[in-house]
Structure 1
Amino acid sequence: MLHICANLKSPFGSYRSLKSNRNVPFHVGMWDKSFSLDWIGVEDPWIGASVDLVALQSIVCQVLRVPATQCGPPVAINEEHASYARVYSFQLPTRTVVARVVAPVKPLFKTESEVAAMDFVRSRTSLPVPQVFAYCSEANNPVGAEWLIMEHMSGVEMGVAWDDLQLPQKRRLALDLIDLYDQFSLLKAEGCGGIYQSVKSTSDSSRVNLKHPRSPRWAPLSPESLRMLRTHCNHSLDNGYALGPIHDIALLKYRLVVPSPSQTLPTFTTDEYVKLIAFNGNPSTRSHDDLPTREKCVQLFQSIQNLYPNSMVFGPSADASNFRFSHGDLHDGNILIDPQSGAITGIIDWEAAAFRPLWAEVCGVGWFEEDHHRFMIGAQDPENFEEETDPADVELRAFFRTELHKRNPTLFTCFLGGVELRAVLHAAVDAPRPEGETNIFLGRYQRQGCWNEDRRGPFPWVMDAWLHKRLALDAIDMKRIDALKRAADISTAR
């Protein structure tokens, strides 16, 4: 595939000057699709990666101390959703184990944080989290990629089992989800960030902690990896953990620029957290064309937050106490349940786990997620529960809300009251145009009166002026695109 490199000339100057905050190749093949100049990442994070499954099977045997003749071949179990990890099961004589092979997105840090998150939650809650038997966070190993070997969690994906559950099973699941949120909310930190095992010395300090054991590394880390972890994960938490770079799903969009660890360091206010993920890193990796849209999202978020000056949940004063642990990707495919009882049997895929503002994550899971019913998300109007006409649905909604309030009134406040902030956050981290809907959201938010000027005062900015600015930016963007296309055509002809 032909690449337009950073020093390619165009009528508007060099590519580097056009995209001063981007320094990665632009893929000409993407011109077959609708795109903006932001789409300069890769189509597939596995391009260039070569995974040796024979070596992986051998390591499974080594770690679990099983003869090769008693270990079944790798069986792929997530082929349809293998963007960031490929998952394989291995049948052993007495159990099944799972190996998760990690794509080269945020090398070292994402795997280190994922393992530390599972260790942290296993040691401090009663939630069903996989035990990691061994892992390797450096791709320079016989497998050819980072990997984790974990216990197999029983159960069926919540989304798959849902339609077959009866009301008593759904009520049990509702209680388990409430318990999950409540246990997460007890885990606090002084800032927003991923969680890592502390590395305080120049050696690979992986001593066994009998009270809070760590998952074992398959091999000691290289001096360079240790240095990087010490440099970026130096805000200490309790019992051998530290805050470090955060891995929100929005920051892992490999088709865009994936910001480096130094661009996603922990933040210690909600405002800085929102800016970090809205701008796709600090310094920002958003394009000149897209950055003003993100700035408007941040401005809107700040304006809403300032409506709660004394709130210990939504306002700026909440920063002193409300950074809590969260899974980061808690959807109904990452929760396993017992289809007979409805009980949660496993919580998987911890790569985005981190400490975040409490309101940001308490939105329900699967059927219990209400944000899309009660507020505009992206370009979609609220669904207002219009398709839920079964009295059992009404009863289950009421049961979930009532039990959530009884268990933890603050979580209930986040669940209902945080929907507007979450909607703006969703817009802030959305993909750029043409796939993203942020500009549509901002316009519709104002036109549909989501900002009630009678109660809140004037809208945070003059929308007509903003729309004119967007049109001007669009015109500049199209000229840049045309220039790059012409330059690519010349290069191809040569």
Structure 2
Amino acid sequence: MRRLFTQSVRPFKWSRLSIVFRPGFSRSLHKNWNSVNDFFQYTRGRFVSNEEHELSIRRVKFDMNELARLAADSVGSRECVHIEKFPDGMFNKTFLFTMANGVEVVGKVPNPNAGQPHFTTASEVATMDFVRNVLGTPVPRVLAWSSKAGENSVGAEYIIMEKVTGVQLSHVWHNMGIEDRFEIVKAISGYQRSWSSTSFTKYGSLYYSCDTDYQKECVLVKSDGTHAKEPRFAIGPSTGRDQADHGRVSIDFDRGPWDDAFQYRRAVGLREITSVQSIGDLPRSPLSLYGPDTYHPTRAKKLAALHSYLQLVRYLLPTDKTIMAPFLWHSDLHTENIFVNPERPTEVLGIIDWQSTEVLPLFEHARQPYFLDYDGPSVEGLEPPTLPENISEFSSAKQLEAKRLYMSMSLSALYRNLTYRDNPVLYKAMEFRQTKCFEMMLLAQNLLVDGEALYQASVLDLEKEWPDVPGAQALGNPPFPVRLSASEVRSLEKDVSGAILGMELMADIKNSLGELWPEKGVVRHGQYNDTKTLLNQAKARMHDRLKSSEENCAWEYSWPFDS
């Protein structure tokens, strides 16, 4: 079930927008930087669903002249003479500033959709400091920053930081041999071992003590069980993406900090309930089509699933307290966030993008790094993968495909074996993520968007396994806490059938578009017209199968893509 609700991240790669001012121009001419509209807009691609809204939440106006001046001041330079805009992320604008003395620094401004004002930036800066100076991870040094847009000359939150040396792993990964890839896996596994050597006593996100109302100093727990106080830092409200996406950023609910894993996990359910009740229009599922014969989400059905979750959550938690301890973790280790030495690509020089980092139970973090993900059967246990015995009978193309899959599976197996050997607590957390209990917690945290029918079906399945659920056994084998009537079960069976049909229909459209499929709703500018044409053809095929004008109207109303 988890596979149905998980989408891999495949970052786009586009050229930078570059604006140059020759050395010797007076600073007054730099006001022209504010006239470069693309600096402030989302320019990386086009959205195929609700484009006007998607662009608006990624549009931010600020004083680029002031940001350039502050960037120059941060390194003691006379002026900034060159600005490059990096390809837009989904949540930030990022720029490369080159100074008159040749020094380069990176500036980052969050979009309105990045998270709660102040908290997102303040936590990111404190996290980078902690990870760099306490956990020993290569992270850019912050040179200047402000989390109060109304109190600075830029008119927006910003971070100015060192430019990471080297190149993104994405530039060299596909040309690296298996031995060099092994070395990268070992290096990243080593950093994760460092992160798991220090836990905390609360759950949420990390801040400087002066930047949060939660003034109690941070307490660190070392791997030997000793405690150490870090008065510069404090655990405050979570800045995780789940706290902000799909309209949640403007809704008032408990964002932490929390004292234990149960409090945190219960808050997830209460957050989703508040969001379902408060949001104007329910978000559209990115994984399913709604229309005739498919499932139709309602607030009542979402709330019913969330109430089931709240009744079950204490029993879904692992019984091993070591994997429930709170840890700070990088949750998005893909190839564009890892920088390596181009001459020695096995040498990791930096890890970037610590925005929205959370201090959460270890089992929440314990997945293999995204750069190891692949399409194919997942690796389980510790046994190495093998090539098909009859591979010699395959065509050349099929042999190449099998060998590529074997390499990907081998890297995944290596990561699992390194973790088992050097980081056994993390490995235990990875194993827990394979259980039905974790799958039900994972699905529950996005029920505002989708999954409520399948969640309730999972509840019925869990009832059959109840005597064997470790959490229930540890709490005295109580009766199963959720009760669904016979009529509710019959209605649920219809909902599940409709939900599966809706996902199959969306999967068919995705397959028909191939590489033109709008990952996260966005495509390159040059692909936009072709993508829209194929989507309209898919809609026409849908209409051709319908029997009545009422059904056509229903599909027309529910079609999730812009006309």
- Give me the TM-score of the superposition, normalised by structure 1: 0.67
Q: What is the DSSP-based 3-state SS (H/G/I as helix, E as strand, rest coil) of the residue aligned with 2:446?
A: coil
Q: What is the DSSP-based 3-state SS (H/G/I as helix, E as strand, rest coil) of the residue aligned with 1:242?
A: strand
1:426 aligns with 2:442: yes
Q: Which of residues 78, 85, 90 is equivalent to 1:76?
A: 85
Contact 2:266 2:313 in 1 (8 A): no
Q: What is the DSSP-based 3-state SS (H/G/I as helix, E as strand, rest coil) of the residue aligned with 1:121?
A: helix
Corresponding letter in the other structure for 1:275: R
Q: Which residue of 1 aligns with 2:216?
A: 235
1:442 aligns with 2:455: yes
Q: Which residue of 1 aligns with 2:424?
A: 409
Q: What is the DSSP-based 3-state SS (H/G/I as helix, E as strand, rest coil) of the residue aligned with 2:238?
A: coil
Structure 2: 5+ residue runs without aligned partners?
1-47, 219-229, 278-298, 380-386, 389-400, 473-479, 499-553, 558-563
In structure 1, what is the Cα distance between the partners aligned to 2:447 and 2:338? 26
Q: Which of residues 101, 106, 111 is equivalent to 1:103?
A: 111
Contact 1:336 1:345 in 2 (8 A): yes
Query: Residues 41-190 of structure 1 correspond to what in structure 2 (within 5 A)?
Result: 44-47=56-59, 49-68=60-79, 71-79=80-88, 81=89, 83-92=90-99, 93-104=101-112, 105-140=115-150, 141-159=152-170, 161-190=172-201
Q: What is the DSSP-based 3-state SS (H/G/I as helix, E as strand, rest coil) of the residue aligned with 1:74?
A: strand
Q: Percent identity?
A: 20
Q: Which residue of 2 aligns with 1:26?
A: none
In structure 2, what is the Cα distance between the partners aligned to 1:155 and 1:197? 29
Contact 2:202 2:257 in 1 (8 A): yes
Change (3 A) 1:454 1:276: closer
1:94 deviation in Å?
3.9
Q: Which residue of 1 aligns with 2:528?
A: none
Change (3 A) 1:426 1:342: farther
In structure 1, what is the Cα distance between the partners aligned to 2:375 and 2:460? 20
Change (3 A) 1:371 1:295: farther
Contact 1:110 1:351 in 2 (8 A): yes
1:470 deviation in Å?
11
1:101 deviation in Å?
0.7
Q: What is the DSSP-based 3-state SS (H/G/I as helix, E as strand, rest coil) of the residue aligned with 1:285?
A: helix
Change (3 A) 1:262 1:427: closer
Q: Which residue of 1 aligns with 2:397?
A: none
In structure 1, what is the Cα distance between the partners aligned to 2:410 and 2:168? 23
Contact 1:445 1:451 in 2 (8 A): no
In structure 2, what is the Cα distance between the partners aligned to 1:425 and 1:286? 17
1:405 deviation in Å?
1.4
Q: Which residue of 2 aligns with 1:357?
A: 361
Query: Residues 149-298 of structure 1 correspond to what in structure 2 (within 5 A)?
Result: 149-159=160-170, 161-199=172-210, 229-230=212-213, 233-237=214-218, 238-253=230-245, 255-258=246-249, 263-280=254-271, 284-287=274-277, 288-289=299-300, 290-298=302-310
Change (3 A) 1:107 1:454: closer
1:276 deviation in Å?
2.4
Corresponding letter in the other structure for 1:89: L
1:372 deviation in Å?
9.2
1:461 deviation in Å?
5.0
1:150 deviation in Å?
0.3
In structure 2, what is the Cα distance between the partners aligned to 1:243 and 1:360? 17
1:428 deviation in Å?
1.9
Corresponding letter in the other structure for 1:145: A
In structure 2, what is the Cα distance between the partners aligned to 1:371 and 1:261? 39
In structure 1, what is the Cα distance between the partners aligned to 2:409 and 2:463? 26
Choose 111-120 or 161-170, whichever is displaced more: 161-170
Query: Residues 324-339 of structure 1 correspond to what in structure 2 (within 5 A)?
Result: 324-338=327-341
Higher gyration radius (CA): 2
Q: Which residue of 1 aligns with 2:548?
A: none
Show CA shifts across 1:269-307 (max 9, x none): 2122123234437x83332543333333444543332xx
In structure 2, what is the Cα distance between the partners aligned to 1:262 and 1:285? 8
Change (3 A) 1:373 1:427: farther
In structure 2, what is the Cα distance between the partners aligned to 1:332 and 1:459? 44
Please report the RMSD computed on the Cα atoms of aligned residues, expressed in angstroms: 3.7
Show CA shifts across 1:229-251 (max 9, x none): 33xx2332123211111111111
Contact 1:236 1:242 in 2 (8 A): yes
Q: Which residue of 2 aligns with 1:208?
A: none
Number of aligned residue pairs: 380
Corresponding letter in the other structure for 1:101: V
Contact 2:124 2:355 in 1 (8 A): yes
Q: Which of residues 394, 413, 421 is equivalent to 1:398?
A: 413
Change (3 A) 1:162 1:60: same
Q: Which residue of 2 aligns with 1:343?
A: 347
In structure 2, what is the Cα distance between the partners aligned to 1:261 and 1:452? 36
Structure 1: 5+ residue runs without aligned partners?
1-32, 36-40, 200-225, 376-384, 475-481, 486-494
1:410 deviation in Å?
0.9
Contact 1:89 1:99 in 2 (8 A): yes
Q: Which residue of 1 aligns with 2:281?
A: none
In structure 1, what is the Cα distance between the partners aligned to 2:361 and 2:330? 12
Which structure features the higher share of helix residues? 2
Change (3 A) 1:302 1:126: same
